[in-house]
Structure 1
Amino acid sequence: MPLLTVRAIDAQKPRARPYKLTIDRGLQLRIAPDGARTLLVRYTVKGSEVERQYRLSQEYGEGPGQLKLAAACAEAARIRALARDGVDWPAQEEARLRAEATAREQADRQDGLTVAKALREYVENKRRAKDGLPLKARTKADYLAMIEPGRTSKTGKQFADGELYPIAEKLLPKLTADDIRGVHTALMKISQRQAVYAMQVLRAMLRWHGVVVPGNPLGRDTAGRDRIVLASSPGNPSPIPPERLGAWWRASAVAPSRVAADYYRFQLLTGCRGGEIHGNKRYGYEPIKVGDVDRQVGKLVLRDTKNRSDHKLLLSRQALEIAQRHCTGKKPEDPLFPIVDARKTLAWIDARAGTSVQGHGLRATFASIAEELVSGGALKRMLNHAAGGDVTLGHYVGKSEAQLRAAWQAVADFIEAAAGVEADPPPSSPVRTSVQHARRRLSKASVPGRAVVRSAH
């Protein structure tokens, strides 16, 4: 039986300050100055010494939507009984209500939100978890191109639609697993690389928005038989063939455009990406400027590169000579290589050398040469590749500037040796010893393109 009767409770009047009445074991009634009557359940969960309080959702009373005394006592007894068994029902109920409210808010926000709008919002607001930086301009452009229709060039050539264009106007709440599979299947007929990239972007966008697609083939919880497996696309490096390396280097020395040829030579000697050297106005990437080159110590720093980190280049003697040549007579803010389009020069070099290398192929050539001359850890740092999940490289292996400079110098000397060019570094060179060591190893190869025994750095 309740400690107080209905009549005794009704006789209580509001006061200037709120006060409480105990009407049953663990059940209190709070009476506010405005007359509102709130029911409070006090309980202690098994295994805990902290007494907790839960406010019932309905007010006390006999009217519609109110909780009568007998029902209030029964509800309090139920909650307290569960607590004695170790179940915190009020906490579970609050968590459920919060989740439902969040889901409703998300559904309301997504109402009218298409895949295209959702991707644009993702591109503008996405921040990297490890450093809070936004996506790079080039990355944003690549993602947004996926939802654009194919354009027509001035000559009438029709370009293909973006990878996600078929579902660009699909409302997010209406997006189905079949829609995703259909896009993936169509893209696989064109290119596995395109298909994987598009699905990775779509998956990231859906997760960022918190969209749950029933049976989502990109979801972690989907059964393996129904899941789209995003296998890493195999690379397709196209370096200069070892037997043509010397011919390419000699041809680049006599190319009609000295600036363009030196730009490509510098790329081969450093392993840089082309955009890191000449910049890209469309995406706001600055080119290497004269003032960026520290000619005294032979190094320069590339700012905010593809993986959002700075990259220090320790220039070999040959790369420094090229940089010094193009720094002479220029202002610090002038670009080191003032080129607009150097592809004609590269085509000229390829024709003369009997090669077919493209710009990024020079980075692949650098990597292919270095892989035979230096350790994997040094090569990864020379190419400015993130350590990722590699605990050994990321947390234990350190490379000094002297070691990395020697590695770049070994690659440059290998290229010169392939072209039949030999020149000793000046006596004051800080890397004379390491260069001579690399040359002793190179002299053991009967042909310039032959694999060299890996050195331990």
Structure 2
Amino acid sequence: MPLLTVRAIEAHKPRPQPYKVTLDRGLQMRIAPDGARTLLVRYTVKGQDGERQYRLPQEYGDGPGQIKLASACAEAQRIRALAREGVDWPAEEEARLRAEAAARERAEREEGVTFEKALRDYVERKRRAKDGLPLKARTKADYLAMIEAGRVSLKGRKFADGELYPLAHRLLSKVTAEDIRGIYETQIKRSERQAIYAMQVIRAVLRWHGVVVPNNPLGQDTAGRDRIVLAPPKGNPAPIPPERLGAWWRAACASGRVAADYYRFQLLTGCRGVEILGSKRYGYEPIKVVDVDLEGGRIVLRDTKNRSDHKLLLSRQALAIARAYCTGRKPEDRLFAITDARKTLTRINAEAGTTVQGHGLRATFASIAEELVSGGVLKRMLNHVAGNDVTLGHYIGKSEAQLRAGWQTVADFVEAAAAVRDEPSVLPASAEAVPEGTTEKEAALCAA
């Protein structure tokens, strides 16, 4: 039986200050100055310290939406009985209600959100977990290009739509497993790499917005036979063949063009092309005259692909090229004032009997260095992160002298290859000789 009867409760009138009245064991009523009567359940969870308090959602009374004394006492006894068994029912109920409210809010928000809008929201608001930095401009551009319609050239030629264009105007909440699988099957016919990239973007957007697609072929809880397995990324390096390295270097030296010196500089440093020439679209700044420390023989590249600064320690040969293009120039001038160097590279390749493209020069640098320097030095020269390599990331330190020696070793190897006219299958490790017939100007640019 309750400690107080209904008549005894009604005898308690509002006061200027709120006060509490005990109705039953663990059940109290708070009477506010405005007459509102709130019911409070006090309980202690088994195995936990401290008494807790839960406010029943209904007010006391006989009216609609109110709770009577007998029902309030029964609810208090139920909550306290669960607490004696170690169950904090009020806390669990509150968590459930919050989750349901969040799900409703998300569903209402996403009901009118297209995949295109969801992707744009992702690229603008996404922050990397390890450092809180936003996505790079190049990554944003790559993602957004996937939802764009193919452009039409001046001659009326229609280019292919972006990989995810079929989903661009689909409501995010209506994306199905069949949609995802259809895009994958279409793209895999064009390029396995782009098909995998498209799937990674879809998966990232769905996770970001908390959308669950039934039988999602990208989900870990989907049966293996119905799942799209994304192969780990792998490169396709196309460096200059070792037996043609010397010919390529001689052709580049003899060109006399700014673009040729840019390509030679890229081969000597192992940089990405956009790190040297810059890119407005991808947010890369070009190397400027002011960035070159001629006295120290170094250049610092800011906010590179892996979101860190990268210090280039120039070999004698690379420094000679940089010095030639800094002399008589303004500090804000670009080191290499070119816009499209591909025609020059085509001429060099034709003369040298090679087919290397821009990024292939970075691959050539890495292929040469792999046999000449340690793995730790090579990773730092290429500005690659240590990843899960605890030894390299936490214990191995390399001085500037060690790193500069690595760049110098590669440069000497390239010059040694150019000094051998008959192009043997095994190239010498180094050489000081200048190729016979080389002019003084070519020799000055090819060797420091």
TM-score w.r.t. length of structure 1: 0.91
Aligned-partner SS, 2:21: strand
Report how far residue 167 of structure 1 moved: 1.0
The alpha-carbon deviation at position 201 of structure 1 amounts to 1.2
Asked if structure 1 preserves the Cα contact closer than 8 Å seen for 2:246 and 2:420, the reply is no
Please state if 1:383 is matched with 2:397.
Answer: no
Structure 1 Cα separation of the partners of residues 327 and 60 of structure 2:
88
Deviation for aligned residue 1:446: 7.8
Distance 2:218 2:150 in 1: 26
| Equivalent position SS for 1:39 | strand
Aligned partners of 1:450, 1:239: CA distance in 2, in Å? Answer: 18
Offset at 1:25?
Answer: 0.6
Asked whether the 8 Å contact 1:18–1:31 carries over to 2, the reply is yes
Question: 1:78–1:128: structure 2 CA closer, same or farther, 3 Å change rule?
Answer: same
Q: Does residue 146 of structure 2 align to residue 146 of structure 1?
A: yes
For 1:18-37, what aligned pairs fall within 5 Å after superposition? 18-37=18-37
2:32 partner letter: A
- 1:449 Cα offset (Å): 7.4
Q: CA deviation at 1:375?
A: 1.2
| Residue of structure 2 equivalent to 1:270 | 269
Aligned to 2:427: 448
Whole-angstrom CA distance in 1 between matches of 2:343 and 2:255: 10
Q: Which amino acid aligns with 2:375?
A: G
1:155-212 Cα shifts (integer Å, max 9, x gaps):
2222111111111111111111221111112111211100111111111111111222
Please report how far the alpha carbon of residue 307 of structure 1 lies from its aligned counterpart in structure 2 after TM superposition: 1.3
Counterpart position of 2:435: none
Structure 1 residues 73-100: Cα deviation after superposition (integer angstroms, max 9, x where no partner): 1111111111111111111001101111
Cα distance change on mapping 1:89 and 1:168 into 2, 3 Å: same
Query: Is the Cα–Cα contact under 8 Å of residues 298 and 312 in structure 2 kept in the other structure?
Result: yes
Q: Indicate the residue corresponding to 1:106 in structure 2.
A: 106
* Amino acid in structure 2 at the alignment position of 1:148: E
Q: Deviations over 1:382-426 (max 9, x none)?
A: 11111222222211221111111111111111111111179xxxx
What is residue 334 of structure 1 aligned with on the other side?
A: 333
Give the equivalent residue in structure 2 for 1:68. Answer: 68
Give, in whole Å, the separation in 2 of the partners of 1:282 and 1:75: 64
Q: Normalized against structure 2, the TM-score is what?
A: 0.92
SS at match of 2:57: coil
Q: 1:148 to 1:448 in 2, by over 3 A?
A: same
* CA spacing shift, 1:293–1:141, aligned 2, 3 Å: same
CA distance in 2, matches of 1:256, 1:297: 27
- Counterpart position of 1:221: 221
User: 1:81-100, aligned counterparts within 5 Å?
Assistant: 81-100=81-100
Q: Distance in 2 between matches of 1:8 and 1:256?
A: 105
Runs (5+) with no aligned partner, structure 2: 431-448
Matched, 1:351 2:350: yes
Q: In the alignment, which residue of structure 1 is the partner of 2:371? A: 372
CA contact (8 A) 1:256 1:345 kept: no
Q: How does 1:236-385 map to 2 (within 5 A)?
A: 236-257=236-257, 259-385=258-384
Matches within 5 A, 1:196-215: 196-215=196-215
Does the 8 Å contact 1:382/1:404 carry over to 2?
Answer: yes
Q: Is the 8 A contact 1:192 1:233 kept in 2?
A: no
CA distance in 1 between partners of 2:55 and 2:8 (Å): 22
Separation in 2, partners of 1:157, 1:173: 34
Amino acid at match of 2:291: D
SS of the aligned residue for 2:76 comes to helix
Shift of 1:56: 0.9
| Partner residue in 2 for 1:168 | 168
Residue 317 of structure 2 aligns to a residue whose secondary structure is helix
| Between 188-197 and 204-213, the greater mean CA deviation after superposition | 204-213
Q: What is the CA distance between 1:273 and its match in structure 2?
A: 0.4
Amino acid at match of 1:30: R
Structure 2 CA distance for partners of 1:13 and 1:287, relative to 1, 3 Å: same
Q: AA paired with 1:321?
A: A
Q: Distance in 2 between matches of 1:283 and 1:417?
A: 36
| Alignment partners' CA distance in 2, 1:225 and 1:77 | 51
1:247 and 1:110 mapped to 2: Cα distance? 59
Q: Deviations over 1:1-56 (max 9, x none)?
A: 01011111122211111111110110111111111111111000011221000111
Q: C-alpha root-mean-square deviation of aligned residues, in Å?
A: 1.7
SS at 1:338 equivalent: coil
Give the superposition deviation at 1:256.
4.5
Q: 1:341: how far off?
A: 1.0
Unaligned runs of 5+ in 1: 423-444, 452-457
Distance in 2 between the 1:220 and 1:90 partners?
33
- The question of whether the paired residues in 2 share the 8 Å contact of 1:243 and 1:449 is answered with no
**Aligned residues between the structures:** 428
What residue identity is the alignment partner of 1:211?
V
| Partner AA of 1:231 in structure 2 | A
Q: Supply the distance in 2 between the matched residues of 1:249 and 1:291 (Cα, whole angstroms).
A: 28
For the residue of structure 2 that corresponds to 1:163, the secondary structure is coil
